[in-house]
Copies of this chain bind each other. A is one copy, B any other.
């Protein structure tokens, strides 16, 4: 992989990239273990150099056709280049283009069983011009809702937040509900989790502190998700339940392609399409005007998506 141009944050770049690679390895290992059959394949790729000093690359790891997981993608990347004007304006408020550096790990896991939730997580470090910040989050998208699973996920996220600042969890939980929202459906994408961005932007003296937070919460991801998979992986399900999962995956696609900031950032900065769209489920259904019967478990899920809950008490 090409060396990126040096910056005043060189040490943080290296530390962050190292952390995200370590997280990729740990998360893939935990997922392989709980799947027990399928293994992650590795695709190493380089970002094509263009005029303007684009470069870098990544390691995309994909697991397919497992016993538990229909598809799982865990992507590490470390790229740099020049941001288009609109994106520069949006991220910095400044005119013109700007050099950027980005490293992160992002993952989306689509289980076979509709009883196991889909999950997504992303941990990232960005530089644009002389600004640097961390961002990320972890969230859960169930098809059939087991309240105790949502509680477990949130509880684990809260514990990780609380190690750093008691104000984090309530704030990041709220931001997660706000971010993963489909206005055209009046629904959240799932039952949420945490979402944070711009940590350290304009206050570079706090970057170390935020690095430490992202290290804690990134390392807690498998604790948030794997126990849920273990609990649900042997549950039986009907064809109708599988069909409901495929329809709900349609909403997942809608969110990712219409609203997701990471997808947009990736596509607009000429990122590697296959690694960006690895978030899309292998099989998806849409059905005109579908709505579940009132009083069913399917309707109960949608009710929760329309009325986000507090899953753990915030003291």
Q: Is the CB of A282 within 8 A of B282?
A: no
Residue among B184, B267, B285 making CB contact with A184, cutoff 8 Å: B267
- Interface flags, A95-128, vs B, CB<8A=1, else 0: 0000000000000000000000000000000000
How many protomers of this protein does the assembly include? 2
Bound form: Cα–Cα A64–B289 in Å: 12
Task: From B43, B60, B284, B288, give the contact of A283 (CB < 8 A).
Answer: B284
Stretch from A2-10, A135-143, A249-257 that touches the partner: A249-257
Are A254 and B277 interface neighbours, CB within 8 A? Answer: yes
Once the chains are docked, how many angstroms separate the CA of A272 from the CA of B278? 29
Residue A273 lies at the interface, judged by CB distance under 8 Å to chain B: yes
| B residues near A280, Cβ cutoff 8 Å | 250, 286
Q: Which residue of B lies closest to A267 (CB)?
A: B184
Q: In the assembled complex, which residues on chain B have CB atoms less than 8 Å from the CB atom of A282?
A: 285-287
Is the Cβ of A289 less than 8 Å from the Cβ of B43? yes
In the assembled complex, how far is the CB of residue A58 from the closest CB belonging to chain B, in whole angstroms?
Answer: 13
How many angstroms from the CA of A250 to the CA of B283 in the assembled complex? 10
Interface string of A256-278 (1 = CB under 8 A from B): 01100000000100000110111
Q: At the interface, yes or no: A132 with Cβ under 8 Å from chain B?
A: no
CB distance from A3 to the nearest CB of B (A): 27
List residues of chain B with CB within 8 A of the CB of A73. 288
List the B side residues contacting A297 at CB < 8 Å. none
Inter-chain CA distance A282–B284, complex, in Å, is 8
In the docked arrangement, what's the CA distance between A227 and B308, Å? 51
CA–CA, A179 and B128, complex, Å: 31
Which of chain B's residues have a CB closer than 8 A to the CB of A281? 286
**Contact residues in B for A274 (Cβ distance below 8 Å):** 288-289
Verify A278–B267 contact, CB threshold 8 A: no
**A277 to B274 CA separation, bound complex (whole angstroms):** 24
B residues in contact with A254, CB < 8 Å: 257, 277
A162 to chain B, nearest CB (A): 36
CB of B253 within 8 A of CB of A258, answer no
Q: Interface on A for B, CB 8 Å cutoff?
A: 43, 60, 62, 64, 71, 73, 183-185, 250, 253-254, 257-258, 267, 273-274, 276-278, 280-289
Report, nearest first, the 7 A-B pairs whose CB atoms are least far apart: A257-B257, A280-B286, A184-B273, A284-B284, A184-B267, A274-B289, A62-B288
Known: A60-B288, A62-B288, A283-B285; 5 extra A-B contacts, CB below 8 A, are A184-B277, A258-B258, A277-B286, A278-B288, A284-B284
A-B contact pairs, 5 of them (CB 8 A): A43-B289, A184-B277, A250-B280, A258-B258, A282-B285
